Amino acid sequence: MKKNIIIAVVILGSLALIAITLINNKKENEAKTAIVAEKNAAVSVKTAQVKTEEVSLDFVVNGNFEPIQELTFSAEKSGKVISVLVKEGDYVNVGQTLVIVRSDVINVNASTAKAIYNNAQADYARYENAYKSGGVTKQQLDQAKLAMTNAGSNLKQANINVGDTRIKAPIKGFINKKYIEPGSILTGMPATPLFDIVNVSKLKLNVTVNESQVASLKVGNPVTVTASVFPDKVFSGKISFIAAKADESLNFVVEIEIANNTDNNLKAGMYGTANFASKQKQELKVVPRNAFVGSVSSNQVFVVENGLAKLKKVVAGRILGEQVEIVDGLSDGDNVIITGQINLQDGKPVEIIK
C-alpha cells in the first residue's frame, strides 16, 4: 500500500515538473519571438544622398531598328504563275523581273489589238483623202478618227497586259518572304501576296524621349548608334523626324536614319542604342534613377527621416543615364531610399544597410 502511494506521488511530481518546464519554455519562446518581431519591423534598405553636381547632358535611349522601306508586294492581275525567278534572301533591284505569268491568251489579244489598230489607221487615212475630194462627209471622217483612237487605247491596254505577265520589283531590297510557287493561281480581288521585300541599305531607329530631352534636338543632328550584337561597331546616324505631339506617356518619338555598312550587318528588328551627345555640362541636383517608386513618371521617392521612411512627391526633370534631375521636392543631403521600396509604406521603420 505504502509502495503504491510513493509511486503515485513520484508520478504526480514528474508531471508537475514537466508542466512547469513547458510553461517556462513557452514564455521564453514568446519573449524571443517578440524580440525578433520587433527587430523585423524595420525594413532593410539602401540609401543615396541627394547632391548637386556637374552632370553631362548627354543621354542614351534604346529602340529597335526598322527598314527604310518594306513592302508586301501583291498581284494586280489574275493569272497562273509559270516561273518564279527569285528565292528568299535574294537581293533585287527596281524593275527586275521576279515572276512570269502565263501569257499565251494575253499575247493573242495583243496581236489582235495591234491588227485592229493598223486597220483603223488605214481606214482613217483613206477617209481623210476622200474628205479632201468630197467623197465622204466630215461626220464620216470624225467617226473614222474616233475608231482609230479607240483602237489605239485598246492596243495600249493590251501591251500593258503583256507587260503584266512579267512582274517586276517596285523597290530594291532583299526578298524576306516568298508566298508563291510555279503553278500558283494569282487573283486581283482580293490581291494575292507575292513577296515581302525589305530594304536595309538604310535603317531607322525609332526611340522615345521626354520633353526635357526633346527640347535640345533638331532634325539633321548627328547621332552615334550602336547595336547590342555588335558592341565594337559604331554607326553614324542623323535625326530624320521628331514628333510634333507627345504620346500617351508624354514622350516624343524621334526617328534616326542610319546608313548600313557594306556588309549590311544591321538587320531590321535588332536592338539598338542612340547616343545623344550634347557636349554640355550643368550643375544639377540629381538622384539615382532607381530611387523612384515604380518609375520616374510617378514622381515619388522615399526619404529616411529619423529612422522612418517618408514618401515624398517630387518634380523630376531630365533623365541623364542612371541619374534623374530633381527640380523640386528634395534638398541636398536628403537620404533617398534606392533599394527595398517594394516593402515600404509611408512612416514604416527602416534599417539602413551600409
Q: Which residue has the cell 557594306?
A: 262
Q: 96, 169 in Cβ contact below 8 A?
A: yes
Angle (deg, nearest 10), helices 104-132 and 138-164? 160
Nearest to 230 by CA among 260, 200, 197, 208: 260
Query: What mean pLDDT comes out for the span 17-22?
Result: 62
Residue 330 confidence (pLDDT) above 80: yes
Is position 214 within any domain? yes
Percentage of the chain beyond pLDDT 70 is: 86
How many domains would you assign to the chain? 3
Q: What ranges make up the beta strands (E) of 228-270?
A: 230-242, 252-259
pLDDT of residue 36: 46
Whole-angstrom Cα distance, residue 189 to residue 196? 19
Alpha-carbon 164 to chain mean position: 36
Domain termination site, one of 276, 295, 316: 276
Q: Which residues pair with 92 in a beta bridge?
A: 173
Q: Please give the grid coordinates belonging to residue 49.
A: 544622398
* 154 shares a domain with 139: yes
Residues 6+ apart with CB under 8 A from 154: 113, 116, 117
Q: 292, 324 in Cβ contact below 8 A?
A: yes
Confidence of residue 206 (pLDDT cuts 50, 70, 90): very high
Is position 185 within any domain? no
* 268 shares a domain with 210: yes
CB atoms inside a 10 Å sphere around CB 303: 21
Q: 227, 233 in Cβ contact below 8 A?
A: yes
Q: What are phi and psi of 158, to 5 degrees?
A: -65, -40
* 266 shares a domain with 302: no
- The per-type count for the chain, helices as H runs and strands as E runs, is 4, 21
Amino acid (one-letter) located at 351: E
Q: Which residues pair with 47 in a beta bridge?
A: 337
Is position 130 within any domain? yes
Range of the domain at 149: 105-161
* 238 shares a domain with 262: yes
Question: At 261, which CATH number?
Answer: 2.40.30.170
Is position 27 within any domain? no
Is pTM beyond 0.75? Reply is: no
Q: What are phi and psi of 103, to 5 degrees?
A: -130, 5
Whole-angstrom Cα distance, residue 292 to residue 285? 15
* 297 shares a domain with 255: no
* 272 shares a domain with 205: yes
Confidence of residue 104 (pLDDT cuts 50, 70, 90): low
Confidence of residue 242 (pLDDT cuts 50, 70, 90): very high
pLDDT in tens, 45-67: 899 989 898 887 778 888 999 99
Residue 108 confidence (pLDDT) above 70: no
DSSP symbol at 191: B
Is position 97 within any domain? no
Q: Picking from 20-24, 227-231, 294-298, which range would have the lowest pLDDT averaged per residue?
A: 20-24
Residue 193 confidence (pLDDT) above 90: yes
Domain termination site, one of 161, 183, 209: 161
Is position 169 within any domain? no
Give the SS3 label for residue 206: strand
Residue 3 confidence (pLDDT) above 60: no
Query: What mean pLDDT comes out for the span 191-215?
Result: 90
Domain termination site, one of 276, 294, 314: 276
* 261 shares a domain with 236: yes
Q: 162, 106 in Cβ contact below 8 A?
A: yes
- The burial of 203, by beta-carbon neighbours within 10 Å (0-12 exposed, 13-18 middle, 19 or more buried), is given as buried
pLDDT in tens, 266-304: 899 999 999 888 777 788 899 998 999 987 778 999 999
Cβ contacts of 109-114, under 8 Å, gap ≥ 24? 109/158, 109/161, 110/155, 110/158, 110/159, 110/161, 110/162, 112/158, 113/151, 113/154, 113/155, 113/157, 113/158, 114/155, 114/158
* 267 shares a domain with 210: yes
Give the SS3 label for residue 38: helix
Residue 19 confidence (pLDDT) above 80: no
Q: 58, 275 in Cβ contact below 8 A?
A: yes
Query: Which of 55-64, 196-205, 212-221, 313-322 has maximum average pLDDT?
Result: 196-205
Confidence of residue 27 (pLDDT cuts 50, 70, 90): low
Is position 327 within any domain? yes
pLDDT of residue 33: 47
Alpha-carbon 127 to chain mean position: 67
pLDDT in tens, 122-149: 888 888 888 888 888 888 888 888 988 8
Is position 186 within any domain? no
Percentages of the chain per state (helix, strand, coil), in multiples of 5: 30, 40, 30
